[in-house]
Amino acid sequence: MSGIIDGRAAAAAVIDEVRAGTKALGALGTVPGLAVVLVGSDPASQTYVAAKGRMARECGFRSRQIDLPATVSQAELTSVIEALNADAAVHGILVQLPLPAPLDAAPILKAIRPEKDVDGLHPVNAGALASGDLDGGLLPCTPAGAMRLVRAVHGGDLSGLVAVVVGRSNLFGKPMGQLLLAANATVVMAHSRTRDLPGICRLADILVVAVGRAEMVRADWVKPGATVIDVGINRLPPEAGAVRGRLTGDVDFAGVRGQAGRITPVPGGVGPMTIAMLMANTLTAAQRAAAEAAAPAAEFTDRL
């Protein structure tokens, strides 16, 4: 019987740490501030944004939601970001993706000051991670959350283990590969052009899948005893009589469960970690801002 990795419990532990950190920072006079920008009225995005705001308030943050119509121009959206960049009470800025067409997300993400980029997607933060600097920037939330789940199973040093990441997006696959590499795993990045994907997956001691294809990974793709991290979120077509189909991952959970050593379910695996790591990043950003604000005074005192 394989072990199910409880992402909800792991996320709750992160949130407890964030609450404690927020309290300590509050005693020094700083309340972390998170601003979430929602453009348009996509129902899934509305749900995600509401959940982020709720969690931010539960953590003791100041939470702001900025709703903009789908007709907002690129320039107007950029000026909203610039105003948030300049607002000292806002430590974290998140623009909910995807943006409605014809808005271009890349320049918007670049407009966010890297130290407020709590999604960890700014090129400066992506570059810090790519160069192996895990502490200098802010890490993207989903890979950072998935990595915590990996560490809970294998510890911090993955020397000697083969990790296969299926999917090479900037949002998840690439940063996940870099985090695994930084932890000394031997990393294979697989994607839509990979030949013999099942054979490559069978090499994995740690198999991480982020593709967006429901239940693609079957039991015979998985090495017995492997750790399987399923990042995919797919909604299946509704069954007869149902209004909505059920959520499922990129891994055939029922089939793979008996083959894997440990496996994340969908929902209740990586998903809850993403939002928890967003809160952790916002606290980190607020702690750094507070330290920076205090630093010139300390320097001045030193010189006296």
Enumerate the active-site residues.
Answer: 52, 96, 119
User: Nearer to ligand NDP by C-beta: 85 or 194?
Assistant: 194
Of 91, 168, 223, 262, the one binding ligand NDP (CB under 6 A) is 168
Whether the CB-CB separation of 264 and 7 falls below 8 Å is answered with yes
Position 287 contacts ligand NDP (CB under 6 A): no
Q: Which is nearer to ligand NDP, 85 or 169 (CB)?
A: 169
Give the E-state strand segments of 135-224 in sequence order: 162-166, 186-190, 206-209
Asked if 197 touches ligand NDP (CB under 6 A), the answer is: yes
Helices (H), 59-122: 74-86, 105-111
Contacting ligand NDP within 216-275 (CB under 6 A): 231-234, 270-271, 274
Stretch that binds ligand NDP, among 68-76, 109-117, 123-131, 185-193 (CB under 6 A): 185-193
Query: How many residues of this chain interact with ligand NDP, rule: CB under 6 A?
Result: 24
Task: Check: CB of residue 10 under 8 Å from CB of residue 152.
Answer: yes
Q: Between residues 78 and 234, which has the closer beta carbon with respect to ligand NDP?
A: 234
Applying CB under 6 A, among 41, 79, 131, 192 the residue interacting with ligand NDP is: 192
CB proximity list for 146: less than 8 A, separation 6 or greater:
176, 208, 229, 231, 270, 273
CA 89 to chain centre: 23
Kind plus residue range of the DSSP H or E element containing 285:
helix 270-303
Six-digit token string for 97: 């993706």
Q: Which of 61, 172, 221, 253 binds ligand NDP (CB under 6 A)?
A: 172
CB 71 within 8 A of CB 120: no
Write out the two tokens for 293. 């604000």
Under rule CB under 6 A, residue 195 binds ligand NDP: no
Residue 98 preceded by cis peptide, ω within 30 = yes
173 binds ligand NDP (CB under 6 A): yes
What's the rounded Cα separation, in Å, for the pair 208 and 228?
6
State the binding string over 50-89 for ligand NDP (x if CB under 6 A, else -): ----------------------------------------
Q: Which of 45, 46, 85, 169 binds ligand NDP (CB under 6 A)?
A: 169
Beta strand segments in 134-235, E: 162-166, 186-190, 206-209, 227-230, 234-235
Looking at beta carbons only, is 18 or 80 nearer to ligand NDP?
18
| Residues 117-156, interacting with ligand NDP (CB under 6 A) | 142
Q: Residues 15, 59: contact at Cβ < 8 Å?
A: yes
Report in angstroms how near the CB of residue 47 gets to ligand NDP at its nearest.
13
Minimum distance from CB of 279 to ligand NDP (Å)?
14
Between vectors from CA 166 to CA 161 and to CA 170, what angle results, nearest 5°? 110
Rounded CA gap, 154 and 185, in Å?
A: 11
User: Please, which residue, 30 or 140, has the CB nearer to ligand NDP?
Assistant: 140
The contact set with ligand NDP (CB under 6 A) reads: 142, 166-169, 171-173, 191-194, 197, 210-213, 231-234, 270-271, 274
